[in-house]
Amino acid sequence: MITDPICSLDIAMFTILAAHVGLTIGTLSRHLKRRPDFKPLVDRLLRFDTVGIYLLTERGHGLDAFNIETTATKTSNGYILHTPREEAAKFMPASTPSFSIPKVALVMARLIVDGEDRGCRFFVTPICNEREMYRGVHSVRLPLRSGTGPLDFSITSFEHVHLPSTALVASDILDYSVPPQPLEAWWDEIWRIQLGTLAVPAPWISAIKAVAYIGGRYSMHRCLLGKRNESVPILTFRTQQWPVVHATAVGMVMANWFPLVIQQAMERTTDHRIRHAMSVITKTTICRHFQRCVPEVAERCGAQGTFEHNYMARIENDGKGVIIAEGDVLTLCIRLFSELLQKRYEVPMPDPAESLLALHASSLLEENIALLKNIKGDHRSDYFNALILPQSQVVVEAIGHALAYSAALQSNLPQPILDVYECAIIRQDPAWYSEQGGLSRMDQRLREDAAVSSMLPNLSSFFADLGIEKYVTAPIVSDAGWKDYLAALPVHTGTAIPEVELLQAML
Ligand SMILES: Cc1cc2nc3c(=O)[nH]c(=O)nc-3n(C[C@H](O)[C@H](O)[C@H](O)COP(=O)(O)OP(=O)(O)OC[C@H]3O[C@@H](n4cnc5c(N)ncnc54)[C@H](O)[C@@H]3O)c2cc1C
């Protein structure tokens, strides 16, 4: 479902699906065998009669959601769910009744029994019916996130809401024990987010392809009048070619790699830490590629690139949400990088001899492992914070580039695609490739020139290989498409005749 290109057309819809299926149904599914009473709810959710939302983050506790403050206090016949202060209100999920559909939430709260905090648990909580909120549940609709697909993102709070004892999301509803390792228990409660980290970047691969296609097609038919009055398509310019071939190659390399990572993640034998590491590497790599490709192509489409109807400007803004949701890219990288440097586990990396990108990734990792040995203090020290943390994302991305390139080599992607992808990565760290990769700045330029030139003769066929054309609605992909679109826009006309004095005053 998540890899269907249609998901990249409406990110508000994808956001609902990701929380509904991935988080809400996913979390409940683990308990279904021992909690058959959840089945009617799961059936309703599967039929989409009710929308499931996942209320974890609080306004005052985002990335430190382990410290949430919402409480669920045990009573003789259930729980009282309560938001003790503004900072403890749940942040983001769309909880209003605005769209005439009932909503139910999994709310994470601190379980309080006999005045004692027994750790964080989820509670099934009805939010609204088709018309209104349930008693004691308050939803404040937030304004639109700039330039994004509309969704009723909200701030949700609870005022002494009574829940039955079966609301506790657990296989044993009588187990109120304090977990021996509270942080590990918390990670286990939110296990679906770790899978979401891998799932949510899927639409961005389709989006990169769509943007490559839109920018490429536009650049083929948008012409200037040349010196001898002949029409010259803007794609003639290397400055136009690069963003288009770059996005095309990235789209193809990511589309090849992503299903292979999913397959790897699904293998039961895989160590869960490595599975999560792969999710972080994949999300980081795809999201950052997206952020480089999309604005670059959009800007090369001039004013057209800034309009809603041409897709690129809006998808760029929508993309900012996914970088934060289901694991904020930067902080995911910080955690993973710290663990890799401490050699708590290893991720499978390609042999450094396989490619320049593989050599780059292993060299950066080794460099930072050596640096950690030489700094004063450990991974909690000020030196680590100042010198190593800022490298986290760069190195995690480098590992992703090497893995994706390796997968592309093994899948025999066309040589021009491999070469352009390689050059795009070299562009990100030209100093390393010059210092250690044996490629001077001039070598890098010549290599890029050869790569782009090799891709151009078959550009239309590479666009077809993207398999995205039928999902593209941007009218600028063809001149005829634009003219049809324009013809459907409202035209302002009138019969007013300017008064003579006014006309003279204007002149
Ligand atoms: C589109 C979208 C959908 C969402 N859906 C849901 C949902 O369904 N359910 C839900 O509960 N929440 C949801 N959220 C909320 C999301 O989980 C939070 O936004 C996220 O956890 C980050 O919290 P925050 O925004 O409060 O950022 P903050 O916690 O304020 O972090 C801001 C920045 O501080 C820095 N920072 C924070 N901690 C560290 C650290 N330890 N080390 C280094 N730097 C740090 C980072 O630069 C970080 O980007 C959604 C958010 C978005 C954008």
SS (H, E, C) 285-339: HHHHHHHHHHHHHHHCCHHHHHCHHHCHHHHHHHHHHHHHCCCCHHHHHHHHHHH
The CATH number linked to 273 is 1.20.140.10
CA distance 340 to 331: 14
Dihedral, 382, 384, 387, 392 alpha carbons, nearest 10: -140
164-179 in b/e form (b: 16+ CB < 10 A) is eeebbbbeebeebeeb
Asked if the structure places residue 479 within a domain, the reply is no
Residue 91 near ligand 1, beta carbon < 6 Å: yes
Q: What is the whole-number distance in angstroms between the Cα of residue 63 and the centre of ligand 1?
A: 5
Q: Measured from the CB, is residue 62 less than 6 Å from ligand 1?
A: yes
What is the residue-averaged pLDDT of the chain? 95
Q: Which residues contact 52 (CB under 8 A, 6 or more apart)?
A: 19, 20, 23, 24, 25, 45, 103, 104, 105, 106
Could you tell me if residue 388 is inside a domain?
yes
Amino acid (one-letter) located at 304 = Q
User: What HEC string does 259-291 produce?
Assistant: HHHHHHHHCCCCCHHHHHHHHHHHHHHHHHHHH
Residues 219 and 308 in one domain: yes
Ligand 1 lined by 325 (C-beta under 6 Å): yes
Residue 168 shares a structural domain with residue 204: no
Residue 219's domain comprises 197-469
Q: Parallel, antiparallel, or unpaired: how do β-strands 154-158 and 161-163 relate?
A: unpaired
- So what's the pLDDT on residue 122? 98
Question: Residues 87-146: pLDDT tens digits?
Answer: 999 999 999 999 999 999 999 999 999 999 999 999 999 999 999 999 999 999 999 999
- pLDDT at position 401 is 98
Work out how many domains the chain is built from and give that number.
Answer: 2
Q: Degrees (nearest 5) of the Cα angle 431, 435, 438? A: 110
Q: State which amino acid sits at residue 286.
A: I
Both 249 and 394 in one domain: the answer is: yes
Q: Are strands 71-75 and 154-158 parallel, antiparallel or unpaired?
A: unpaired
Q: Is 57 in the pocket of ligand 1 (CB under 6 A)?
A: yes
Model confidence at 333: pLDDT above 80: yes
In a domain? residue 491: no
Query: Pick from 143, 166, 189: which residue ends a domain?
Result: 189
For residue 438, is it left (φ>0), alpha (ψ between -120 and 50) or beta?
A: left
Q: pLDDT band for 268, please (50, 70, 90 cuts).
A: low
Give the model's pLDDT for residue 68: 98
Q: Atom of ligand 1 at shortest distance to CA of 53?
A: 8
pLDDT (tens digit per residue) in 458-493: 999 999 999 999 999 999 999 999 999 999 999 999
Chain centre distance of CA 290? 9
Report the alpha-carbon distance of residue 306 to residue 317 in Å, rounded: 11
Specify the ligand 1 atom closest to the Cα of 18.
8
Q: Which residue has the higher pLDDT, 82 or 271?
A: 82
Pocket test for ligand 1, best of 14, 15, 54, 57 (most atoms within 8 A of CB): 57
Q: 378 and 418, same structural domain?
A: yes
Can you give the pLDDT at residue 267? 74
Pairwise CA distance, residues 433 & 80, whole Å: 60
CA of 328 to the centre of ligand 1 (A): 6
% the chain with pLDDT above 70: 99
Tell whether 220 and 146 lie within a shared domain.
no
Q: Note whether residue 477 is domain-resident.
A: no
CA distance 363 to 356: 10
Q: Using a 6 Å cutoff on CB, does residue 193 contact ligand 1?
A: no
Instruction: Answer yes or no: is 498 within a domain.
Output: no
Tens of pLDDT, residue by residue over 39-80, are 999 999 999 999 999 999 999 999 999 999 999 999 999 999
Amino acid occupying residue 341 = L
Nearest CA to ligand 1 atom 18: 62
42 falls within a domain: yes
Per residue in 370-399, pLDDT tens? 999 888 777 788 888 999 999 999 999 999
- 123 with 248, same domain? no
311 with 432, same domain? yes
**Residue (of 303, 314, 294) closest to 243 by Cα position:** 294
Q: Residue 465 has what pLDDT? A: 97
CA dist list (Å): 371 to 365, 374, 379, 389 = 10, 5, 11, 12
Q: Quick one: which of 352, 361, 358, 386 has its CA closest to 372?
A: 386
Q: DSSP state, 344? A: S
CATH code of 142's domain? 2.40.110.10
Give DSSP secondary structure letters for 417-453. HHHHHHHHHHHH-HHHHHHTSS--HHHHHHHHHHHHH
Is residue 485, in this structure, part of any structural domain at all? no
> Do 438 and 294 lie in a common domain?
yes
- Domain check: are 292 and 342 in the same one? yes
Q: How far is the CA of 325 from the centre of ligand 1 (A)?
A: 7
pLDDT of residue 226: 83
Position 483 in a domain? no
pLDDT for the residue 379 = 77
- Asked whether 312 lines ligand 1 (CB < 6 A), one says no
Atom 38 of ligand 1 has which residue's CA nearest to it?
63
Ligand 1 contact, 142 CB (< 6 A): no
pLDDT class for 269, splitting at 50, 70, 90? low
Tokens read off for 474 = 């941007």
Please report the pLDDT score of residue 381 as a whole number. 85
263 and 154, same domain (yes or no) = no
- Give the residue among 61, 59, 55 at the shortest CA–CA distance from 81: 55
Does one domain contain both 182 and 224? no
Which spans in 102-181 are helix H?
none
pLDDT tens digits along 206-230: 999 999 999 999 999 999 998 888 9
Place of tokens 């949510």: 200
For a pocket test of ligand 1, which of 63, 104, 314, 332 has the largest count of ligand atoms closer than 8 A to its C-beta?
63
304 and 437 belong to one structural domain: yes
Is the minimum distance from the CB of 92 to ligand 1 under 6 angstroms?
Answer: yes
